[in-house]
Amino acid sequence: MKKYAAELMGTFVLTLFGCGSAAIAGGTLGTLGIAFAFGLSIVAMAYAIGNVSGCHINPAVSLGVFLSGKMDSKDFCGYVVAQFLGAILAAIVLAVIINGTMLGGVDATGLGANGYGAASAVGVSTWGAFAVEVILTAVFVLTILGVTSGEKTSTIAGLVIGLTLVFVHIMGIPLTGTSVNPARSFGPALVLGGQALAQVWLFIVAPLVGASVAAGLWKYFGTTK
């Protein structure tokens, strides 16, 4: 249960600080600032709970680890449930914080939700958004599988993973807001409802597809001597 509690807490922190930065100060921070908010959340949690649960805090990461044979089905299910609960709790807390400000409420700020079409800053299409999320997630999860595969890189894994999350957000934010994490997307969408909730299917399915691609690539390249 400690592992699941750690995953809940880590996903809570990632969603609250990442989505919170986008919703509350996105106009000031810009793409790079929001990207670093997500990335630094990963870095902090990696060194806080990494020795407890591995700090997946993302169902796509857990799927990649599971498909790579590094996790059993019981822990996979427990991790995913904890991650979704953590993101939902974070979205609720963020909504309470925003509703206590003069920002105009959750609808005005968007809670850091993902979107495509009219909800995208550049109007990316449905299939364009799907392709973007698959590619970005595959790159992110493949990096995680690689940097955590040996003891030589274990001490810098949190920093590498955090910077990779920054890297994928820089491209993804103008397109979809960058999900690469079904839990992080579902929490804000559930609280917002409406268009965000109607579109969240893409930000659940595409990252899981991307994680599956990453696991396949890792099995191919990671076993090469």
pLDDT (0 to 100) of residue 96: 96
- pLDDT above 70 coverage of the chain, percent: 99
pLDDT (0 to 100) of residue 144: 94
Residue 197, pLDDT above cutoff 70: yes
Class of domain 2-221: mainly alpha
Q: What is the mean pLDDT of the chain?
A: 94
Q: Which of 101, 160, 164 is nearest to 137 (CA)?
A: 164
- pLDDT above 90 coverage of the chain, percent: 89
Which secondary structure element, helix H or strand E, spans residue 74, and what is its range? helix 73-99
Can you tell me the distance from the alpha carbon of 202 to that of 186, in angstroms, rounded to the nearest whole number?
10
Q: Which of 82, 59, 11 is nearest to 209 (CA)?
A: 59
Q: What is the identity of the amino acid at 86?
A: G
pLDDT (0 to 100) of residue 223: 60
Environment class of residue 89 by beta-carbon count within 10 Å: exposed (0-12), middle (13-18) or buried (19+)?
Answer: middle
At 48-94, the pLDDT tens digits run: 999 999 999 999 999 999 999 999 999 999 999 999 999 999 999 99
Can you tell me the distance from the alpha carbon of 112 to that of 118, in angstroms, rounded to the nearest whole number?
15
Residue 225, pLDDT above cutoff 70: no
pLDDT (0 to 100) of residue 154: 78
First to last CA, the chain: 37
